[in-house]
Structure 1
């Protein structure tokens, strides 16, 4: 019997390697069709925060959860399915071992039918090399932007969610290596060529922020993004036991056990000035990014059990419960100081129209969007989540949207005096 079991196990592992994935299912194998709620859940890399995970699972509205990982086994299945008190139809874990497994038609079908997708930890370059530039990348982006599903991850699974990302292709990079040479051969970054997640398009995420050296390294990531793209850069980071949950309106609530433990999330942005680029960001030289000691504006938010503290990703200026800091790098030396919030209206092109009666309804929408205002001579433009402009025709203050695919859209309404951006979801 012992030899028979060993033989069968060897056959099982050979089959798993051949097909490129191993599957673990808990719950109902039949698909439960329901509309999910969009959301992003990002965790700092240690054990999961239960309250944040409950928030994430509730976005699935009782549907199916898919866990994607490149190592390990079924550790999330029972935790998601039965230990948090949230009713869901199933939890299906795929341990992916190569790009063939990631693009297997069976795996892609389950991604399409899921209501929530969770990336486990591990080596983020496995995710990049297995999932990027193939049908899995397309399936995940469609899941988020067309279906409007919930997505999240921890550690390496959080590290890949931003529009910019550290790929770790040549292994991890230390704080000293990054600060001493922003173009060190381990500083392997990708820009806007992988996942397209709302509110994260110019964001580089980082985790395990309990290590204070991560702050300097993360600052170099943003310096590289700004330098390489001639664009302002943004970042989101979590201490190991901290989580950030972002809803469809861009409200990022922070979960943790502060003040019992020092659990924080950090929201970084290059300052809103004309001269925001690093003074020195070149191959072989230490980073110098000072800009009057406020190269980066950072909002540090303590995570609480109920997630009451927040930062608003729709404007990158508004928050509650946190404190503003300046971060900068002086010839390879990282430093911080206290600060005030930046005034980024012009830089972000999202302007607050005080005392103006202007509404865009409904949200979410289906067949039409209605513009409620007494203001005249308005110019209206509509864009999908990738930034592509879509044609709109306004008739009796309504935009016909029947032909648009489900997903997230931005409507910009302006005249010569002001401009406002609205984010809406079609379902």
Structure 2
């Protein structure tokens, strides 16, 4: 009887000039709730129910909007009734083009939502329909101003990172990416689409059960590091695994381990002075070895209670997982056991070995930078890759008193060579 009632709540879909189709379930009257922020990254197969309940609870009884470029109303009943979480409504939009995405009616629904979900499909449709237009603005306002919860699966997950694989030229295999990291198929975007907390310089991937995923994901990180001269990060999920990020940056992993091998992976370029690939160039196999520790990976089993986590506020602290070392040598990918990189532990001695003295480290308000050669430029970024303005004074000091406590990365360019250092604000 309950199922019949729910079906009656699903309004007939309406098409507007073939730009989009709408499916609406539940109340048509908007509500305002005490919603919460968060990010849900789903691995690409059927949804992990505990993570979906987490997602819906963040809406606090509000309105859910589902955005997709294929399919129909598959999420409406699932969100509205199957998970037994009380919400006001579910509205699904299936877009045929950019015009549908920027329709004022659609944008109003997005603005009034408490939760937004991206379905699977082809992520290049999302990039084509949502990027550099009013929908992009609406989504970033929803996340950063309204602070609603957002999430997605498969292609919907792929677009949530600050860096993203657009699939503009189709998918790419491990072998294609490893043998030519600048193949047209390795189509990447950098910090020009969605701006989601804790996901700057992060590139996501799903379907990690597929062996043809991990090496190509590593190539994506190599490209980010090479093209942007910055540390790169990644998050990936096995198909039935989900990562749910709380406002404090803790990413909890949901799945059904140990019944099934369901894991999430947190990838980061190793925090050494020379972290970038030895050879990442067009037409040549990738080499990113760095002593077998080019990429540090924290592998976390997902449980129904979501007890295991990794902290995206420092990219070092975790619970319930194990560290791995990934590396690539002339196009050959290797994964072995590893240890915590402990990025905050860079000593003054290590900095001095690079012929630059940065002190004190850790610091309170100011640092002094002494170099045997003239420093041409200086750049400071936080752990998430956000650039912070900094100016070196005539006495070789920099005032960093406005920073919050944590780990930061300082890049110094001299003689056309850029060197990277970790500094810690107390």
TM-score, normalisation: structure 2:
0.80
Counterpart position of 2:350? none
CA change 1:182–1:60 in 2 (3 A) is same
Structure 1 portions without partners, runs of 5+: 1-11, 348-376, 391-409, 421-427
Matching of residues 148-187 of structure 1 within 5 Å:
148-187=147-186
Where does residue 342 of structure 2 map in the other structure? 343
Answer whether contact 2:344 2:424 (CA < 8 A) is retained: no
Contact 1:57 1:80 in 2 (8 A): yes
SS at 1:59's partner residue?
Answer: helix
SS at match of 2:74: coil
Aligned-pair distance for 1:77? 0.4
Matches within 5 A, 1:37-48: 37-48=36-47
2-structure distance, mates of 1:346, 1:220: 27
| Partner Cα distance (2:331, 2:16) in 1 | 45
Residue 162 of structure 1 deviates from its aligned partner by: 0.1
CA RMSD after TM alignment: 2.3
State the alpha-carbon separation in 2 of the partners of residues 387 and 232 from structure 1: 11
Per-residue CA shift, 1:348-402, capped at 9, x if unaligned?
A: xxxxxxxxxxxxxxxxxxxxxxxxxxxxx868xxx9x995889xxxxxxxxxxxx
| Cα distance in structure 2, aligned partners of 1:418 and 1:277 | 21
After superposition, give the CA deviation of every residue in 1:300-352 in whole Å (9 maximum; x if it has no partner).
001011111110001100001100000000100100111101111278xxxxx
Cα offset for 1:36?
A: 1.4
* Structure 2 residue aligned with 1:59: 58
Out of 387, 404, 425, the residue aligned to residue 412 of structure 1 is 404
Question: What CA distance in whole angstroms lies between the structure 2 residues aligned with 1:388 and 1:203?
Answer: 15
1-structure distance, mates of 2:302, 2:227? 33
**Distance of 2:45 and 2:250 partners within structure 1:** 23
Give the superposition deviation at 1:35: 3.0
Paired with 1:322 and 1:49, the residues of 2 have a C-alpha distance of 19
SS in 1 for 2:284: coil
Deviation sequence 1:91-148 (CA, Å, 0-9, x none): 0000011110000000000000000000000000000000000000000000000001
Q: 1:329 to 1:123 in 2, by over 3 A?
A: same
Aligned-pair CA distance for 1:263: 0.4
Deviations 1:198-226 (A, max 9, x none): 00011000000001221001000000000
> Could you say which residue in structure 2 is the equivalent of 1:18?
17
Q: CA deviation at 1:412?
A: 2.0
For the 8 Å contact 2:201–2:385, the answer to whether it is kept is no
Number of aligned residue pairs: 355
- Does the 8 A contact of 2:230 with 2:385 survive in 1? no
Q: Is 1:202 equivalent to 2:201 in the alignment?
A: yes
Q: Distance in 2 between matches of 1:269 and 1:343?
A: 12
Residue 193 of structure 1 is matched in structure 2 by 192
Work out the CA distance in 1 between the residues paired with 2:227 and 2:403. 28
Residue of structure 1 in register with 2:304 after alignment: 305
Could you list the runs of 5+ residues in structure 2 that have no partner in the other structure?
A: 1-11, 347-363, 367-381, 390-401, 407-422
Mapping 1:25-424, distance limit 5 Å: 25-345=24-344, 412=404, 419-420=425-426
| Separation in structure 1 between the aligned mates of residue 248 and residue 291 of structure 2, nearest angstrom | 33
The Cα offsets for residues 209-251 of structure 1, whole Å up to 9 and x where unpaired, read as 0012210010000000000000000000000000000000011
Does structure 2 retain, via aligned residues, the 8 Å contact 1:255–1:304?
Answer: yes
Query: Which residue number in structure 1 is paired with residue 349 of structure 2?
Result: none
Tell me the secondary structure at the aligned position of residue 245 of structure 1: strand
Is contact 2:26–2:90 with CA below 8 Å preserved after alignment? yes
| Separation in 1, partners of 2:340, 2:118 | 32
Equivalent pair of 1:17/1:97 in contact (CA under 8 Å): no
Cα distance, 1:418 vs structure 2: 6.0
So what's the TM-score if we normalise by structure 1? 0.80
